[in-house]
Amino acid sequence: MSSSRTASVVPEPEPEPGPDSGPDSGSGPMPTTPAGRAPSRAGDRSRWRRLIDVVDERLGLDALRYPVPEHANNLAWSLGGLTAVSLLVLVATGIVLAQFYDPTPEVANASVRTIVQDVPLGRFIRSLHFWTAQTMYVLAALHLIRVFFHGSFKRPREANWLIGVSMFGLTLLAIFTGTVLKWDQEAYEALGHNLELGTLLGGAGFWFSSSFAEHTPILVRLYSAHIMLIPVLLFVLVVVHALLIRRHKISSHPALRDPGPRRTPDGDPDITPDLTPDLTSDLTSDLTSDMALPADETPKELSEPFTHHLRRVGALGLVLLGALTAVAVLFPPPVGSTPVAGVEVTKPLWPFWWMFTLENWFGLPAILWGGLVFFVLLFAVPFLDRSPRRSWRTRPVAMAVGALLVVLLIVLTLLMAFTTPAAHLSM
């Protein structure tokens, strides 16, 4: 019989946990997440990042992360973005109002009254639309002044200035058409002014001629322009404006040197390569000539992705929307009565007051010629002020002319505020 030896098995002692042990040490089994516990924050970020990557692969959203200078986040340099926010509010409120408005002259005023009295939140939505339109006009004007003051319209950004002036003109036209649509006495007299101005223009004013579309009331045509033609033109120009900003980048501040390294969302220097072509190198000499300090003493400026700038503009936009909401609730615009032909007793909306002061002085044609001279001067700015210098201190003539124009418009506007409406229409 063969003998067998039985070996006793003694369990080996478990190693004590060391400083390198644990879920991230690579040794030992990974701990499982107990049922019912929320996923880790890192897992949430990973899934969110994968979703963004999927969308970006198809839509190229990462192109919005091009670098912008840090000064673009202050309020003065965010006026263009706030103007765009105002436009979005106007589109949203306008869509609601369009569901209940009837542009037929016989019932247009009554439909506005119905919106205010019978439509849920109709009074508030109309009021918000009314005040936002004027806010957009003010923001657009301030944006143009800021661009002019800092010389941001100069080479290679002349085209963007022309586009901005065009959008400013369309904003003014949208306010005019919106004024006429309410079809009260003020609207009737405003339309009467434009019909006579169209007659002064001769063939160029054919659109305001009753013979242009004999079977379609001009109020209906103005309504179509207000809700379709003008918004489409604005949208196209906004897109081109944004693409040109993407191409030429936001202009550097005249008092600062070229931006420093880009930053990550955590504030650390971003060492990833910037594949965006540098199309602003031709401004280096312009900036250097405008600097008040020597090159080695002029402060540098960091940059960050455009998406961060959008977040800040969005935050400012929420503040703007809150302020507009308060104003719309506290100061709703009245609804005038149905117009009466043959009288002229109202004043236009305040953005047009400076033109009507000229009308009181020189007659109805002064509105046409005053507006024409004003916009010709605006369009001519990049062709008249061609010096490479951008700082306001180095452009005394341009600053003096610009300040004179602004003061003149303010004075003409204030004069109209204290002037009794005069009859100028042959109706």
**CA–CA gap between residue 233 and residue 225 (Å, rounded):** 10
Identify each DSSP E strand in 64-137 by its residue range.
Answer: 67-69
206 found inside a domain:
yes
Residues 414/360, Cβ–Cβ less than 8 Å: no
Res 154: pLDDT: 94
Per-residue pLDDT of the chain (427 residues; tens, 9 = 90+): 444 444 444 455 555 554 444 444 444 454 455 555 555 555 666 787 788 788 877 877 777 788 888 888 899 999 999 999 999 999 999 999 999 999 999 999 999 999 999 999 999 999 999 999 999 999 999 999 999 999 999 999 999 999 999 999 999 999 999 999 999 999 999 999 888 888 888 877 888 877 788 889 999 999 999 999 999 999 999 999 999 998 998 888 887 754 444 455 454 544 444 444 433 333 333 333 343 444 334 456 678 888 888 999 999 999 999 999 999 999 999 999 899 888 888 899 999 999 999 999 999 999 999 999 999 999 999 999 999 899 999 999 999 999 999 999 999 999 998 877 666 665 5
DSSP labels for 26-48?
S-SPPPPPPTTPPPPHHHHHHHH
52 found inside a domain:
no
> Tokens at residue 42, please?
């890192």
Work out the burial of residue 342: count CB atoms within 10 Å of its CB; fewer than 13 is exposed, 13-18 middle, 19 or more buried: exposed
Res 108: pLDDT: 96
Contacts of 331 (CB under 8 A, 6+ apart): 127, 131
∠ Cα 381 387 393 (to 5°)? 90
Whole-number Cα distances in Å, 379 to 65, 145, 157, 197, 374: 31, 13, 13, 22, 9
Res 302: pLDDT: 76
Whole-number Cα distances in Å, 424 to 7, 185, 345, 357, 373: 121, 15, 11, 12, 21
**CA–CA gap between residue 134 and residue 150 (Å, rounded):** 25
**CA–CA gap between residue 390 and residue 151 (Å, rounded):** 5
pTM: 0.78
Kind of pairing between the strands at 67-69 and 259-262: unpaired
Whole-number Cα distances in Å, 267 to 52, 72, 366: 21, 17, 56
329 found inside a domain:
yes
**CA–CA gap between residue 336 and residue 352 (Å, rounded):** 19
**CA–CA gap between residue 383 and residue 154 (Å, rounded):** 9
Res 158: pLDDT: 96
User: What's the CATH number where 244 sits?
Assistant: 1.20.810.10
∠ Cα 14 17 23 (to 5°)? 110
Res 289: pLDDT: 39
Contacts of 256 (CB under 8 A, 6+ apart): 69, 71, 287, 298, 299, 300, 301
> Tokens at residue 331, please?
């100061």
Number of domains the chain is built from: 1
H/E element holding 261? Answer: strand 259-262
427 found inside a domain:
no
Identify each DSSP E strand in 105-214 by its residue range.
Answer: none
349 found inside a domain:
no
164 found inside a domain:
yes
Res 201: pLDDT: 85
**CA–CA gap between residue 419 and residue 360 (Å, rounded):** 9
Helix axes 185-200, 158-181, angle to 10 degrees: 130
Q: Which amino acid is at 183?
A: W
Q: Which amino acid is at 225?
A: A
**CA–CA gap between residue 296 and residue 303 (Å, rounded):** 19
Torsion of CA 336, 339, 340, 345, to 10 degrees: 60
Residue 227 is classified by DSSP as: I
Q: Which amino acid is at 414?
A: L
213 found inside a domain:
yes
Identify each DSSP E strand in 274-417 by its residue range.
Answer: 301-305
Res 420: pLDDT: 75
Summary count for the chain: helices (H), strands (E): 13, 3
Res 293: pLDDT: 41
Domain range for 215: 64-258+283-342
Instruction: Map tokens 């940059």 to a residue.
Output: 303
H/E element holding 376? Answer: helix 365-384
384 found inside a domain:
no
